[in-house]
Amino acid sequence: MSSLEFWEAKSLSDMSIEEWESICDGCGKCCLHSFINSDDEEEHFESTDVLRDGEELLYTDVICQYSDIQTGGCTRYSERQTLVPTCVQLTKDNLKDIFFMPQSCSYRRLHEGRGLASWHPLKNNGSKELMHGLNVSIKSKVVKETEVDLEEEFEAHIVEWPEFDCD
């Protein structure tokens, strides 16, 4: 008899839909506007699934208008990709291309063999209290995209806290 939890016993690719969905810790960081800063001053920037030499990923504290800034959840989850065509749905098929996900992302942690963090809701009876208390989530740190002009105020909204991860 195994005493391992499903996330310890199964690979991400072997998880059921319900298990897969429960791996999301609900921190909300994936809904932040982020940009790739490049040393290359090309006029035509091409989409990529990896960071190239001379590029860095920059996060802002600006979040999707459909994000619940207190819980980190999406207020329109089932419609998110229709409402926001650029919203990336993380799947088993595109998991290898998650360079844009923060270090604390539970899918990224499992994919990289680091396991779930101690603050993950699955390890805390479904509670996000520890995650919020450790400042891993977006709670009280963001502004909705409808409240700022990123083209005019971009640099004022660049932040480093989304890269924070603990344990």
pLDDT in tens, 89-124: 888 888 887 778 899 999 999 999 999 999 999 999
User: Do residues 86 and 93 touch, judged by C-beta distance below 8 A?
Assistant: no
pLDDT > 70: percent of the chain? 90
If one counts every other C-beta atom within 10 angstroms of the C-beta of residue 10, the result is: 15
Is the pLDDT at 25 greater than 60? The verdict is yes
Average pLDDT, the chain: 89
pTM of the model: 0.86
User: Do residues 36 and 28 touch, judged by C-beta distance below 8 A?
Assistant: no
- pLDDT, position 86: 86
Report the pLDDT averaged over residues 46-55.
65
Report the pLDDT averaged over residues 44-73.
80
- pLDDT, position 1: 55
Give the pLDDT band of residue 2 (cuts 50, 70, 90): low
Give the pLDDT band of residue 45 (cuts 50, 70, 90): low
- pLDDT, position 9: 96
- pLDDT, position 37: 81
